[in-house]
Amino acid sequence: MDGIGGLESWQWLFIFIGIPVVLLGIATFLFLDKISNPLRFLQPAEREILINNLCDEMEPDANEPEEKHY
């Protein structure tokens, strides 16, 4: 395919390899189930405990200063 369409063979190789990668990336982005519950393997009580622990970790600690200067 050297010279076809004004492209060198290495450029065609990039196109042929790049097209499936781009299509797979788009398909993954569109079909990846981001909305489903990633904690579905846990029991409801375990899920609540984990969510509460994560919420507690995200809240700022009263003992730590707001800003850290280095």
* pLDDT recorded at residue 42: 82
Give me the number of domains the chain comprises. 1
Instruction: Assess whether pLDDT exceeds 90 at residue 31.
Output: no
| Calpha distance 40→48 (Å, rounded) | 12
pTM assigned to the model: 0.44
* pLDDT recorded at residue 24: 95
* pLDDT recorded at residue 20: 96
- CA 55, 58, 63, 65: dihedral to nearest 10 degrees? -160
Smallest CA-to-CA distance from 8 within 51, 16, 45, 57 is with 16
Backbone angles phi, psi at 43, to 5 degrees: -75, 155
Q: Which of the pair, 49 or 70, is modelled with greater confidence?
A: 49
Smallest CA-to-CA distance from 13 within 51, 4, 55 is with 4
Is 27 part of a structural domain of the chain?
yes
Is 36 part of a structural domain of the chain?
yes
- Determine the structural domain holding residue 34 and report its residue range: 4-58
